[in-house]
Amino acid sequence: MKKELFNYSAVDVDGNDLSGQIEAINLNDALVKIRKTGVFPSKVVGADEQVATRNILTALMAKLNFTKQHAAKFNQEDLVVFTRQLAVLLNAGLSIVRGLQTINKQTRFGKMRVILDDIINMIQSGKTFSGALAHYPDSFSKVYINVVKSGETGGALDDVLKRLADYLERNLRLTQRIKAALIYPSLVLVVSIIILGFIIAFVIPRFMELFQNTGIALPLLTRGLLAFSNFLLERWYLFLGAIALIIGSYKLLLRNYAMRYFSDKLILNIPVFGPLIQKITASRFSRTLATLLEGGVPILRALELTKQVSGNEVVAKAINSVYDSVREGGYISKVLESSKVFPQLMVNMIAVGEESGSLDKMLKKVADTYEEEVEITAGMLTSLLEPLLVIFMGLVVGVIVLSMFLPLITLINSLNV
């Protein structure tokens, strides 16, 4: 009887994952032969059937243009949970493949399963975990991949993943706090714009018809408001076009390094908001660098990665100066102080960390300190913005009401005469 080839996945008595190929008459015969080798088969598929299935899936994915680059990326919440769970599973003694398979079974979203399936297949084909992650840069940052790589090299991947989960969780918490602080002012602004749009589109034209029928001379304030209302109603496309042109020009200018640098420097010097951005920058710089150093990434590589995720050309230039100084045997704190980009308290704390030989721990304290300050400052700004927005919208509405009622007062006075 003709024999067939079967591909199988199995687990040995120590819980290690195995895979291989065996020749058998049929599926039952293959299962019996695999069990006789002393392992427990978890999946057995005919080699020809597996190839055919893979070809069908490949053709279907190509037709839908659904490559792994189009797969849904991990959002920040998912990445935190994934990293935390994997750290726990590895610490419990599971292999990396077994841990990923366990997490994949619990994943609800199909496209995320595609990512995990592909990562598992790459690892089983001989790639490292960090090498597999590098195929998905939209989901896993360079910081994440390099920390994982150092953990693999040092044989402490579970500890490294735990630190990564802490790092991601704190970054996520900081972002959520800032967003939460901006929700109410943004809501007030949006509602105010809608109300003003309604007044300009429906209320002012009704008054305009009334004034045209009376034939009275309109005050300058009323004429200006009516002209503005007519312009928005009749030539709204010019208004929207001007906004699009400004935004497009700004994005085009930002492609130039000098303009990006000027824009980022201007942002850091904005009154009230500038100090908040500076504190956010200090917190993220310290947290990222501390995580990389704790994960075993060399200091120069850590600085290079921190520069790449800074998101600000002024900060990136300062970190680049730090990189050059450290490469020549200098101190981080001295360069940070001369850059005038980071707060003096942060510089002093880093100097203490360098002198005591505990830079990574001091960087974590710096990050904790400025995360708390960001939360306090964001709360203060929210408290300040709320009344300012209300006052501003009150003034705008007051001007509109005044411009509409001035002609009515003139009309009433003329009737009384």
What CATH number is attached to the domain comprising 112? 1.20.81.30
Question: In a 10 Å sphere around its CB, with 0-12 CB exposed, 13-18 middle and 19+ buried, how is residue 174 labelled?
Answer: buried
Is 157 among the domain residues? no
Q: Is the pLDDT of residue 127 over 50?
A: yes
Say yes or no to pLDDT of 262 above 60.
yes
Rounded alpha-carbon distances, angstroms, from residue 280 to 7, 71, 180, 230: 52, 31, 15, 44
Measure Cα distances from 39 to 28, 46, 47, 91, 357 in Å. 15, 18, 20, 24, 50
Query: Are the C-beta atoms of 292 and 143 separated by less than 8 Å?
Result: yes
Both 124 and 249 in one domain: the answer is: no
Q: Which two tokens stand for residue 138?
A: 């939209």
- Answer yes or no: do 192 and 313 share one domain: yes
Structure tokens at 17: 């994952």
Note the pLDDT of residue 245: 92
Q: 94 and 228 share a domain?
A: no
Higher-confidence residue of 295 and 241: namely: 241
pLDDT band at 2 (very low <50, low <70, confident <90, very high): low
pTM (two decimals): 0.65
Strands 40-46 and 4-11: antiparallel
Do residues 304 and 213 both lie within one domain? yes
* Co-location of 382 and 270 in the same domain: yes
- For the chain, what is the total number of helices (H) and then of strands (E)? 18, 3
Domain count, the chain: 3
Q: Are residues 125 and 229 in the same domain?
A: no
In a domain, 156, yes or no: no
**Domain for residue 45, yes or no?**
yes
Residue 153 counted as domain residue:
no
Nearest-Å Rg of the Cα atoms of the chain is: 31
69: DSSP letter:
G
Contact of 151 with 145, CB cutoff 8 Å = no
Asked whether residue 198 falls in the same domain as residue 228, the answer is yes
pLDDT at 13: 62
Task: Choose one of 47, 66, 85: the last residue of a domain.
Answer: 66
Given a contact cutoff of 8 angstroms between Cβ atoms, the answer to whether 13 and 38 are in contact is: yes
Burial class of residue 241 (count of CB atoms within 10 Å of its CB; 0-12, 13-18, 19+): exposed
Between the ranges 183-192, 222-231, 239-248, 397-406, where is the mean pLDDT highest? 239-248
Asked if 343 and 368 sit in the same domain, the reply is: yes
Percent of the chain with pLDDT over 70: 88
Are residues 22 and 58 in contact, defined by beta-carbon separation less than 8 angstroms?
A: no
Judge if 32 and 115 occupy the same domain: no
Assigned domain for 158 exists:
no
Q: Look at 135 and 206; give whichever has higher pLDDT.
A: 135
Of 49, 66, 83, which residue constitutes the final position of a domain?
Answer: 66
pLDDT higher for 353 or 199?
A: 353
pLDDT band at 10, cuts 50/70/90?
confident
Asked if pLDDT for residue 398 goes beyond 80, the answer is: yes
Residues in the chain: 417
* 43: in domain: yes
Structural domain harbouring 59: 4-66
Question: What is the model's pLDDT at position 66?
Answer: 45
Q: pLDDT (tens digit, 9 = 90+) per residue, 147-157?
A: 888 888 777 88
Per the model's pLDDT, the better-predicted residue between 110 and 123 turns out to be: 123
270/340 same-domain check: yes
pLDDT in tens, 27-77: 777 777 877 887 777 677 776 655 455 554 544 554 444 444 444 577 788
Residue 170 token pair: 């704190």
Would you say residue 195 lies in a domain? yes
- Which two tokens mark 407? 């002609």
CA distance 152 to 156: 7
Phi, psi dihedrals of residue 344, rounded to the nearest 5°: -65, -35
pLDDT for res 69: 47
Give whole-number Cα distances, 156 to 103, 117, 134, 366, in Å: 20, 24, 19, 26
User: What 8-state DSSP symbol labels residue 200?
Assistant: I
Cβ-defined contacts of 194-199 (< 8 Å, 24+)? 195/393, 195/397, 196/393, 196/396, 196/397, 196/400, 199/397, 199/400
Rounded mean pLDDT, 387-391: 82
Residue 191 pLDDT exceeds 80: yes
H-helix segments, 138-156? 142-154
State the Cα–Cα distance between residues 414 and 395, nearest whole angstrom. 29
Nearest-10 crossing angle of helices 313-327, 332-339: 150
Res 314 pLDDT > 80:
yes
The mean predicted confidence, pLDDT, of the chain is 80
pLDDT score at 47? 63
> Which tokens in the block code for residue 294?
């704790």
Residue 217 and residue 180 share a domain: yes
**Same structural domain, 318 and 181:** yes
